[in-house]
């Protein structure tokens, strides 16, 4: 009940902002793309509570996933002290709660939306490893050990090693009620590998996640979205096997990239979850309030993770994608959350695209490093 109440408050706060945005529009920052990026990063840092918020817009709070995606870039850009402060802020709240939730409300309440998920713990552990602060890692080591055993006992199919098909988990595509999806299984695999790095002997180590994901999701030319039996090509399923480091084969990625391009998921700029014809029908009730939010929309955090992988294997495509992002920053004088499939800004009566996203740190890091 406590979690449901917090989710309700979050929804009301975000909807009230949408009404204001429909009247006044998006904030505009002066300067070049790089100057705008630095201003946004600084605005996202809460100097009083000492942590990075996901945006200076309505997601003005901590998200494990979003911070985990940005962590390495923030460190590369010189924000190591702020990254450490953020991890201490979040981990102390999570430690007190006894679990790692998808996010923490602006009033410091841990919240899962719509469900708990191992990906949140995976991003937090990866962030701590990236920071490379041995004192912090040792402090939270036993907590991650406990979480890993909880995941193994309650969330994992003991025969396959994959997340159970009969449980719904949050993911970066929260509104879709997927069946043991590729994205979440990749994050579970990353978590298992990272536990080894900090010396935790987990029951998850019984499984070779690279081999398992290859067996259950790889079709020979692309990764399946989930285990529902539908042969859907999705952007996240063909990004995160590589982003997590579980797969490093260039031939496999180029095949996934070809599949993404065949569905035009990278058009007009990256990256869509799915094409219009593949939009799932099994959706969370939240989709009623923001229809199409995670349909064939273009998601920028997904696009940035995708571009991080593309940079390693296809420099020509990477340069094209990066230029499209820079054009959007210059056009909107901001760094936005999500777009309609045609590249226009996503907005609905009860929801208006968030802005001033911390994700811009990844763009700046990709461009300058």
119 and 236 Cβ atoms separated by less than 8 Å: no
Rounded-to-integer distance, Cα 253 and Cα 105, Å: 37
Segments forming the whole domain that contains residue 119? 2-368
Measured CA angle at 247 (ends 211, 326), to 5 deg: 150
The pTM of this model reads 0.95
Rounded-to-integer distance, Cα 36 and Cα 272, Å: 24
The tally of domains found in the chain comes to 1
Rounded-to-integer distance, Cα 92 and Cα 259, Å: 42
Rounded-to-integer distance, Cα 72 and Cα 319, Å: 21
| CA distances (Å), origin 135, targets 131, 144, 212 | 11, 15, 33
Tell me the pLDDT of the chain (369 aa) as tens digits: 566 666 666 767 777 787 788 888 899 999 999 999 999 999 999 999 999 999 999 999 999 999 999 999 999 999 999 999 999 999 999 999 999 999 999 999 999 988 999 999 999 999 999 999 999 999 999 999 999 999 999 999 999 999 999 999 999 988 778 999 999 999 999 999 999 999 999 999 999 999 999 999 999 999 999 999 988 999 999 999 999 999 999 999 999 999 999 999 999 999 999 998 887 766 667 677 788 888 899 999 999 999 999 999 999 999 999 999 999 999 999 999 999 999 999 999 999 999 999 999 999 999 998
Residues 64, 267, 189, 280: is their CA dihedral positive or negative? positive
The CATH number given to whatever domain includes residue 174 is 1.50.10.10
């Amino acid at each position: 009940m406590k979690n449901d109440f917090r989710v309700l408050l979050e929804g009301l706060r975000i909807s009230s902002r949408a009404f204001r945005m429909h009247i006044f529009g998006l904030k505009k920052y002066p300067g070049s793309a790089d100057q705008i990026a630095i201003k946004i990063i600084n605005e996202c840092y809460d100097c009083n509570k000492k942590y990075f918020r996901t945006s200076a817009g309505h997601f003005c709070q901590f998200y494990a996933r979003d911070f985990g995606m940005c962590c390495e870039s923030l460190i590369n850009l010189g924000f190591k002290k702020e990254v450490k402060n953020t991890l201490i802020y979040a981990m102390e709240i999570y430690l007190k709660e006894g679990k790692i939730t998808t996010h923490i409300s602006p009033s410091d309440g841990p919240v899962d939306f719509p469900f708990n998920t191992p990906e949140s713990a995976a991003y937090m552990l990866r962030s701590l490893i990236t920071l490379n602060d041995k004192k912090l890692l040792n402090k939270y080591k036993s907590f991650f050990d406990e979480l890993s055993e909880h995941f193994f006992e309650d969330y994992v199919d003991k025969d396959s090693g994959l997340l159970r098909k009969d449980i719904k988990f949050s993911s970066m595509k929260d509104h879709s009620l997927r069946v043991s999806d590729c994205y979440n299984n990749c994050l579970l695999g990353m978590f298992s590998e990272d536990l080894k790095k900090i010396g935790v002997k987990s029951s998850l180590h019984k499984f070779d996640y690279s081999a398992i994901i290859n067996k259950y999701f790889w079709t020979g030319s692309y990764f399946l979205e989930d285990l529902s039996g539908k042969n859907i090509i999705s952007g996240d399923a063909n990004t995160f096997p590589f982003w997590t480091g579980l797969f490093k084969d260039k031939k496999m990625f180029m095949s996934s990239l070809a599949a993404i391009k065949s569905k035009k998921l990278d058009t007009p700029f990256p990256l869509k979850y799915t094409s219009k014809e593949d939009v799932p029908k099994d959706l969370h009730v939240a989709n009623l309030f923001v229809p199409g939010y995670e349909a064939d929309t273009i998601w920028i955090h997904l696009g940035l993770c995708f571009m991080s992988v593309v940079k390693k294997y296809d420099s020509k495509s990477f340069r094209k994608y990066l230029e499209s992002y820079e054009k959007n920053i210059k056009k909107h004088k901001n760094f936005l959350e999500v777009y309609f499939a045609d590249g226009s800004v996503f907005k609905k009566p009860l929801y208006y695209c968030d802005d001033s996203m911390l994700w811009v740190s990844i763009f700046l890091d990709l461009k300058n490093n």
